[in-house]
Structure 1
Amino acid sequence: MNPIEWLAAALGVANIALLVRRSVWNFAFGMAMVALYLVVFWEARLYGEAGLQVFFFAAQGWGWWLWVRAGGEESRVPVRWLSPLSRMVWIVATAALSLNLGWVMHRFTDAALPYADSAITGASIAAQILLGLRRVENWILWILIDLASIAVYLTKGLHPTAGLYVLFLALSVMGLREWVQAAGRPTR
């Protein structure tokens, strides 16, 4: 058992629980979690996800800044839906990023699961940006990411992390429900 992985998983639980509640304090736990997961994923040769942790660290800081500006530290931040055109742009851009990253990792590295890793990485980048922008669709992406991640982590023997992502999946469903309620009906 890797104590770094267990600590990262515990920080992740706090991070997502605070996200569901739309609390700005989620970002402090998120930054600590991703710093530890960089080490865990690098050791597992999941290079896309290791690199993703660097992006997540910066995105957590950016998200924290945006959320404080949007709702203050004590209140729950407002959330809303993407427009239909924006949804299509996000889907196409995420797919293009994922496929290209998968090809690069397959061709130029010894990545364990280059295309699965890149799909999770590309979708996670999109979801994290949408989270910072407080868009409801981030939770839909996180649900898909959680499902794929559970399979990858079980394949790589990262059992505490797979367990964390089962919990993330449940919390993501809760987050989607709460944010849908807070945002109201999507635009058509």
Structure 2
Amino acid sequence: MPMNFFDIQNIFFTVLGYPLSYLEFFGVVSGLVAVWLSAKANLLSWPVGIVNVALSFFLYYQVQLYPDMFLQVFFFVTNILGWWRWANPKPGEEDRKRELQVSFLGRKQFVVLCVVGVLGTAALGTMAARLHEWFPLVFALPSAFPYVDSFILVMSIVTTFFMIQKKVESWIVWIIVDIIATYLYFVKDIMFYSLMYFVFTALAGFGLWNWMREYKLLAAAKTTT
């Protein structure tokens, strides 16, 4: 493996005229595997996700998507928390695999999701637009699409907390975020990441269906005992 593995200019191979770096290729592969495992409610989704966020951190910095870069730090921590939470449910929270069971959001949690999404996007978008002025030595170029990027960051943060708690509605938010991210990365010419988020959208749809099925199966099992 080349020493400059984390350099987006270090090309692994070219497909249909698009130069694909080692960093982007392995970031996409680890991301797809992590989301697929998550949609299956598989505990291994969390450690695979740690690999993905580490690679994505370096990629986003090099394409000036700074909010997305900071988001990976959050994801690194929450992947550890989610791994522990799913594996260690409280008494009465266990599913058939002795892991945390699937459930739905309450009304208050839904309101929090909406309010934090709107206010957080406005605040972080304003900050992201000024990063190159405040820290020119670190951020040499202006943030690309600061408000759209910040929306992805904020909603990803909020829904990740609900994901850790195995809330079904998490997948609805992920569908919205993934659609926007697919467009954003396409515009930024990160084609394989754009393709990855397009696939994420489909996987999020599967995850929504699968978690709802798991919830119904668990509810049916409780009524028969």
Report the TM-score when normalising by structure 1. Answer: 0.93
Would you say the 8 A contact 1:147–1:169 is kept in 2? yes
| Cα distance between partner residues in 2 of 1:35 and 1:81 | 30
2:125 counterpart (89, 92, 102): 102
| Cα distance between partner residues in 1 of 2:211 and 2:40 | 9
Could you list the structure 1 runs, at least 4 aligned residues long, displaced by more than 2 angstroms after superposition. 74-77, 181-184
Cα root mean square deviation, aligned? 1.4
Match of 1:164 in 2: 196
Would you say the 8 A contact 1:24–1:67 is kept in 2? yes
The worse-fitting range, judged by mean Cα deviation, of 126-135 and 101-110 is 101-110
Residues 162/75 of structure 1: CA separation in 2 closer, same or farther (3 Å cut): farther
Match of 2:154 in 1: 122
Match of 1:29 in 2: 48
Match of 2:5 in 1: none
What is the CA-CA distance between 1:29 and the residue it aligns to?
Answer: 0.6
| Cα distance between partner residues in 2 of 1:61 and 1:175 | 20
Tell me the percent identity: 27
| Cα distance between partner residues in 2 of 1:96 and 1:69 | 33
The unaligned stretches of length 5 or more in structure 2 are 1-19, 133-141, 217-225
| Cα distance between partner residues in 2 of 1:33 and 1:85 | 32
| Cα distance between partner residues in 1 of 2:32 and 2:26 | 10
Instruction: Output one character per residue of 1:51-70: Cα deviation in whole Å (capped at 9) or x when no partner.
Output: 00010000000000100002
| Cα distance between partner residues in 1 of 2:27 and 2:98 | 27
1:45 counterpart (39, 64, 69): 64
The unaligned stretches of length 5 or more in structure 1 are none
Match of 2:110 in 1: 87
Would you say the 8 A contact 1:48–1:121 is kept in 2? yes
| Cα distance between partner residues in 2 of 1:121 and 1:48 | 6
SS at match of 1:13: helix
What is the CA-CA distance between 1:126 and the residue it aligns to?
Answer: 0.8
The one-letter amino acid paired with 2:61 is: W
SS at match of 1:64: helix
- Tell me: higher relative CO, structure 1 or 2? Use CA pairs within 8 A at least 6 residues apart: 1
Would you say the 8 A contact 1:149–1:165 is kept in 2? yes
Would you say the 8 A contact 1:11–1:33 is kept in 2? yes
What is the CA-CA distance between 1:107 and the residue it aligns to?
Answer: 2.8
Structure number, greater radius of gyration: 2
Match of 2:30 in 1: 11
Match of 1:60 in 2: 79
Instruction: Output one character per residue of 1:26-48: Cα deviation in whole Å (capped at 9) or x when no partner.
Output: 01110000000000101010000
Match of 1:138 in 2: 170
The one-letter amino acid paired with 1:50 is: M
| Cα distance between partner residues in 1 of 2:98 and 2:181 | 31
Would you say the 8 A contact 1:24–1:64 is kept in 2? yes
